[in-house]
Amino acid sequence: MHVTDELLHDLIDKRRYLHEHPELAFKEVNTTKKLKDWLSENDIAVLPYDLDTGVIAEIKGEKEGPTIAIRADIDALPIKEEAAVPFPSKNNGVMHACGHDFHTVSVLGAAILLNKHRDRLYGTVRIIFQPAEEIAQGAKSLVDKGVLEGVKAIFGMHNKPDLPVGTIGVKSEGLMASVDKFDITFNGIGGHAGIPHHTIDPIVMASHYVTSVQSIVARRLDLFHNAVVSITSINGGNTWNVIPDKVVLQGTVRTFQPEARDAIPRMMKQLAISIAEGYGGTVEFKWDAYLPVVNNDRAYEEVIQNTVKGLEYELVDAEPSAAGEDFAFYQTYIPGYFVWMGVDGPNEWHHPEYDLNEDAIKVAVAFFATLAVNALEQEAE
Ligand code: NI
């Protein structure tokens, strides 16, 4: 589908407006208002979901078929902009340093194009402008409001500064790691350091745990699964001659396979209990499931590859990232696919001098509009 110069220039203006007016997670009030205006100016229906921020729109094709969704995240970060752009943030201390302004206008552009080509759609395209990705709560809040009801599959992207414009990174299964947090408290009995047989020493339990826990990755995980278990904080004791009554460990686990994500906390808990009991103590194991794996469904790999090739953009194998992304929540309910969009930026995500090449807007608009047509056609077959 052809992106006219007129549409592209309009989207660049809108992106610069959003860049000048970034808003933090769940505070995207002005962005939401602007999106509603822009959608209605283009005769695109906004669905009546009761959302404080974020917008759900829909384009109904002229042919019968299922509903698929395209999602863009719309929030910014608490970072003071240092990029030398002619349209810097006017909201001091807040910056679109992850390129969500680019995601927003690209998906808006795809919606505008699709609305003009409803005759080519075998079904409906739901457009999800999602708040609060940066705090990993936006996707979940929309799922709770029912925005995935009746949706067969969902597609999304993240810009990728280290890929050139016109390059799209595709990889089935784990693309972005799950992010989980834990707190483990080893409880013993405190007492005199010179009389340890009257104590149960939690420092010894915790010390064994810190070294043994790495054996879960090395000895218990499938060779073809991978994970990082990092213990990042140890707290216990406050002087040289007293054995404390407890030691608290904190840390994080990252992995790319949902199976590994399920197995690791069970193994970690089992090890913690057995070490604590082995030394006569007890343990409290607190697991905080933060973000699932961005787990791309192989069933859509071919249609995505064919879309990229058909538009004569460059298809590359996506390099996975250990950063998390809350698109993963949608994929725990319905199949989805998330891609890298090359933007040729000078810095990585969340950098105060983050910037991108706006030529990528044209690529992203054409990609999502064409993908929607192709994916619905695939479902119709
Ligand atoms: Ni981001």
> Which of 243, 272, 291 marks a domain boundary?
291
Q: Are residues 30 and 97 in the same domain?
A: yes
Please give the Cα distance from 127 to 125 (Å, whole number).
Answer: 6
* Domain housing 231: 178-291
What pLDDT, on a 0 to 100 scale, did the predictor assign at position 30? 98
- Give residue-wise pLDDT tens across range 29-82: 999 999 999 999 999 999 999 999 999 999 999 999 999 999 999 999 999 999
> What CATH number is given to the structural domain containing 39?
3.40.630.10
CA 132 to each of CA 14, 76, 136, 167, 323: distance values in angstroms, whole numbers, following the listed order: 20, 8, 7, 27, 16
**Are 287 and 307 part of one and the same domain?**
no
Q: What is the pLDDT of residue 379?
A: 87
**Ligand 1 centroid vs 292 CA: distance in angstroms?**
15
Question: Are 113 and 131 members of one domain?
Answer: yes
Return the number of other C-beta atoms located less than 10 Å from residue 7's C-beta. Answer: 17
Q: Could you give the strand order of the β-sheet that contains 336-342, starting from the edge strand earlier in sequence?
A: 45-46, 55-60, 122-130, 63-73, 151-160, 336-342, 167-170, 314-317
Task: Provide the pLDDT confidence category of residue 380 given band limits of 50, 70 and 90.
Answer: confident
Region label for 200, one of left (φ > 0), alpha (ψ between -120 and 50) or beta (otherwise): beta
Q: What is the pTM of this model?
A: 0.91
Amino acid (1-letter code) at residue 357: N
The set of residues, in sequence order, having a beta carbon less than 8 Å from that of 158 and lying 6+ positions away, is: 99, 103, 325, 338, 340, 341, 349
pLDDT tens digits along 325-340: 999 999 999 999 999 9
| pLDDT tier, 119 (very low <50, low <70, confident <90, very high otherwise) | very high
CA torsion angle for 368, 370, 373, 377 (degrees, to 10)?
-120
Radius of gyration of the chain (CA): 24
CA of 134 to the centre of ligand 1 (A): 7
Report the C-alpha gap between 213 and 182 in whole angstroms: 13
Which of 249, 274, 291 is the C-terminal boundary of a domain? 291
Are 232 and 283 part of one and the same domain? yes
Residues 128 and 17 both lie in one domain: yes
Residues 268 and 338 in one domain: no
Neighbours of ion ligand 1 (CB under 5 A): 98
Q: Residue 258: how many CB atoms within 10 A of its CB? A: 18
pLDDT tens track for 131-171: 999 999 999 999 999 999 999 999 999 999 999 999 999 99
Alpha-carbon distance of 174 to 87, in angstroms, equals 36
E strand or H helix at 6? helix 5-20
CA of 149 to the centre of ligand 1 (A): 25
CA of 75 to the centre of ligand 1 (A): 9
Last residue of a domain, one of 271, 291, 311: 291
Residue 294 CA to ligand 1 centre (angstroms) = 13
CA 10 to chain CA centroid, nearest Å: 28
Whether the Cβ atoms of residue 338 and residue 157 lie closer than 8 Å to each other = yes
Same domain, 244 and 303: no
CA of residue 213 to ligand 1 center, whole Å: 31
User: Do residue 163 and residue 52 come from a single domain?
Assistant: yes
* 153, 297 contact by CB (below 8 A): yes
| Tens-place pLDDT, residues 171-229 | 999 999 999 999 999 999 999 999 999 999 999 999 999 999 999 999 999 999 999 99
Residue 124 in 3-state DSSP? strand
pLDDT in tens, 297-306: 999 999 999 9
pLDDT attached to residue 299: 97
Same domain, 201 and 164: no
What whole-number distance in Å separates Cα of residue 104 and Cα of residue 114? Answer: 15
Picking from 185, 160, 151, the residue whose alpha carbon sits closest to that of residue 345 is: 160
Q: To the nearest whole percent, how much of the chain has pLDDT over 90? A: 98
How many angstroms does the Cα of residue 129 sit away from the middle of ligand 1? Answer: 13
pLDDT band at residue 323, thresholds of 50, 70 and 90?
A: confident
Question: Which DSSP letter does residue 221 get?
Answer: S
- Asked if the model's pLDDT at residue 10 lies above 90, the reply is yes
- Quick one: 135 and 201 in the same domain? no
Q: Is the pLDDT of residue 381 over 80?
A: no
pLDDT digits (tens, 9 = 90+) for 216-241: 999 999 999 999 999 999 999 999 99
The encoded tokens of residue 35 equal 């999106």
Share above pLDDT 70 across residues of the chain, in percent, rounded to a whole number: 100
pLDDT band at 24 (very low <50, low <70, confident <90, very high): very high
Distance CA 126, CA 152 (A): 10
Domain count, the chain: 2
pLDDT at 243: 98
CA of 97 to the centre of ligand 1 (A): 8
Q: How far is the CA of 156 from the centre of ligand 1 (A)?
A: 11
| Residue 40 CA, ligand 1 centroid: distance in Å | 26
Let me know whether 93 and 211 are in one domain.
no
CB atoms within 10 A of CB 129: 30
- CA–CA separation, 87 and 43 (whole Å): 28
Same domain, 287 and 297: no
Ligand 1: distance of its center to the CA of 100 in Å? 6
- The Cα 28–Cα 272 span in angstroms is 43
Rounded to the nearest whole angstrom, what is the distance from the C-alpha of residue 340 to the centroid of ligand 1?
A: 11
CATH of the domain at 193: 3.30.70.360
Q: How many CB atoms lie within 10 A of CB 315?
A: 17
